[in-house]
Amino acid sequence: MEGFLTKTAQAKSKPISGLETVDESIKRYSGLTDQQGEVMLLMSFIPGERGMMDRAKKAWRRGDSETVWQITQRALHDVPSIAEREITRRNHNWIPKIDNYLQASDKSFVVVGAGHMGGPDGLLALLRQRGYKIEQL
């Protein structure tokens, strides 16, 4: 998906930037404890709860960010430090940048993983707290 969006933006001469820098991404992973690193590695190779990805995909297609968030939370339930690092902290770090995009006169297209949208610390809730009206089309 990222490749498609990048190629489309480039073909239309649209600027591309990130919500976090390469250095920020590296620091997020280099700051892991050995145990957290092992958990991340295992999570990438060991399948989750049976049918979880299918339910998440169906919820995503319906635009049901809360269900996607609940599925993500269940997957990360046993590793709250990873959930904090990968979802919550990043959401809070991204909000000022997204707010700047929304305040600018140019239109922006922001792409994030579906697990970042729902929940009390999700991007949608954080934007609502800043007074933005969220409308799903």
pLDDT in tens, 39-90: 878 777 776 667 788 898 999 999 999 999 999 888 888 788 888 888 999 9
Q: What are phi and psi of 58, to 5 degrees?
A: -65, -40
Name the one residue in this structure whose structure tokens are 């239309």.
12
Cβ neighbours for 134, distance < 8 A, ≥ 6 positions apart: 124, 127, 128
User: pTM for this structure?
Assistant: 0.83
pLDDT tens string 83-115? 888 899 999 999 999 999 999 988 888 999 999
Q: How far is CA 123 from the centre of its chain?
A: 8
